[in-house]
Copies of this chain bind each other. A is one copy, B any other.
């Protein structure tokens, strides 16, 4: 099957904006002449990082924190936006120090993933952090985070937990497991 060429964008404008969010509306014409208006959420162009801190061969560090979207406590990996001038590895190191109190001598990007490519620009670099050393940094968390060591071979137990729902964190756990087994 021949891949169609990309739709043309005839018009683009910001249709809603808040402190955190910006929505862009685009008038598209597909190569077959079909027209659609698609909205998309504009996230920061630098993207975000999600870090898997590897404590030892069998154990990674997760955090349990209050999430303002689902309005409940969720178990997942440390994450945050990439600041201006930072590489994904530098952002991952900073988040690791701020959220679990460890630095890392070895940082590897496993994959950059999109969240919902149909209507978001957002992408997250999944970074594995190895060769840890104790080094805390002050974050902007409203309350102390609960640090939860998790065994890599206990994925089924993680899946079964009602407070562990984040797709990115579950994927990161599986990618880290594969990476460490190689």
Contact = CB atoms under 8 A, between A and B. Distances in A.
Contacts of A90: none
Interface residues of A, number: 65
Interface stretch (A97-105, A131-139, A167-175): A167-175
A38 B142 CA distance: 11
Nearest to A119: B69
A158 B170 CA distance: 18
Nearest to A26: B68
A116 interface: yes
A114 B71 contact: no
Interface string A92-136: 000000000000000000011111111111111000000000000
Given A21-B23, A68-B40, A69-B120, A30 B114 contact: no
A87 to B, nearest CB: 19
A82 interface: no
Interface string A1-29: 10110110100000111111101011010
A107 B6 CA distance: 34
Interface in A149-170: 159, 165-168, 170
